[in-house]
Structure 1
Amino acid sequence: MFPDRCGFSDTTEILSSRLPDTASMARASRCIREGGLVIFPTSCLYGIGVDALNPEAIQRVFQAKGRPEIKPLLILVPDMASALNQVEDLSSEALRLMEIFWPGGLTLVLRAKGHLLPSLTAGTGKIGIRIPQHPVAAALVRAVGGPITGTSANLSGQPGAARVADVDPSVRRTADLILDAGPLQGGAGSTVLDMTLSPPRILREGAVSAEKILNALGRKRQSR
């Protein structure tokens, strides 16, 4: 816990945040900027948000989830300009998908710029990135003013949680603050598409279907 830095007690505080309000977003963003860990809603599942440029905060995420450090973390950004500051070698196809599906449930894996920490990318030189659609997540990342992690609030290898009550107690205890937006839609989370490969490869199909992605790219599904 970071009671002195985040201004919270040793007990994790829960704020009701079905819709973003200025006070809650200011409090949560301050916590993240000062190294804290916030559980917050995305469209499908609750996520863990920390400052994506803070190595100590990133380490807290791995510890909270029991996540192997060989697995990278994805990031959320407030807008296209911020996204372009985190990645390089953007293809016209990647830009087209950003324009069509962002904000939304498509995470694009792209070449990371050099300032992104190896602990975030797991040394791959790649980063998963998206602009979130949920109003609370979108307001939070705008209030932070920079990239935050967007990994699901669960123990590694376990299902994600669509309600705060379903977040594993050990994960909840690691948080300095929880933004509770009530039940979310659930599901597999965002679709993850690796744009560093040719052709692009879906690593996880979720909120955005493969068919929609192929249609956006003007491609046809390959027969097996």
Structure 2
Amino acid sequence: MLLKLYPDNPNHREFRQIVDILKDGGIIIYPTDTVYAIGCDITNNKAIQRIAKLKGTTTEKSNFSLICSSLSNLAEYARVDNTTFKMMKKNLPGAFTFILPASSSVPKLFKSKKKTVGIRVPNHYIPLRIVEELGNPIMTTSINDPDEVIEYTTDPELIQEKYSKYVDLVIDGGFGNNTASTIIDCTNDSFEIIRPGIGELIH
């Protein structure tokens, strides 16, 4: 199913429909401030496993991130010191994935021995509103295109054609970017950029 959302007039009923799909164990594809991404409710392990299978990996080996609507519940999922928290606050919402030491709840969510977790607070109303309506983060991973020239598919109608058999909903929020988020490793004393992307870090 393809659902078109308009930024100037988002409909509350449509967001309830998206949340119902997620709560029912569904997988969605949605726009972010970078590329289109695949996501599910982090409390639904079957949905997480479905995404891992779709990406050709397992929950044990995967590097999925969490999309949060703010940093207010960060301590539930990650351990973060004051310096890192202040730096994240300066840069979020924005096109970043921050890799942090995982809290004890993360291995239970992913049924794995994960010691780190990626945290995203994208500067895009659709994922932020979904997370707010859902009441907890969504697990996220970007859509990679097997074509090495076009690393990410940007057209939601082409995404729908390609993924309609595998996901329950594609949200059309207009054309996406084809550059992903900047990934920053915050697990050591310094902040190391391990993948440059759209986001330019403010220290």
TM range, smaller chain:
0.7 to 0.9
> Counterpart of 1:84?
75
| Structure 2 gap ranges (5+) | none
Amino acid aligned to 1:161:
T
For residues 195-214 of structure 1, the C-alpha deviation after alignment (integer angstroms, 9 at most, x for no partner) is 002322212111213xx34x
CA deviation profile, 1:58-110 (whole Å, cap 9, x unmatched): 1011122223541320110122222222111x122211122111111111111
Larger Rg: 1
Q: Which amino acid aligns with 1:176?
A: D
**Structure 1: gaps spanning 5 or more residues:** 1-12, 217-224
TM-score by length of structure 1 reads 0.79
Task: Give aligned pairs, total.
Answer: 198
Structure 2: how far apart are the matches of 1:112 and 1:121?
13
After the TM superposition, which segments of 4 or more aligned residues of structure 1 sit over 4 Å from their partners? 155-158
The yes-or-no answer on 1:16 pairing with 2:4 is yes
Contact kept, 8 Å, 1:106 with 1:192, in 2: the verdict is yes
- Specify whether residues 197 and 118 from structure 1 end up closer, same or farther in structure 2 by C-alpha distance, changes over 3 A only: farther
Name the amino acid aligned to 2:196.
Answer: E
**What is the aligned-residue RMSD (CA, Å)?**
2.3
Q: In structure 2, what is the equivalent of residue 193 of structure 1? A: 184
Alignment correspondent of 1:182: 174
Distance of 2:109 and 2:166 partners within structure 1: 19
TM-score for both structures, normalised by structure 2: 0.87
In the alignment, what sits opposite 2:114? 124
Match of 1:41 among 31, 45, 52: 31
Q: Would the aligned equivalents of 1:64 and 1:155 in 2 still touch at CA under 8 Å?
A: no
The Cα shift of 1:188 comes to 2.3
- Residue 156 of structure 2 aligns with which residue? 164
Higher helix share: 1
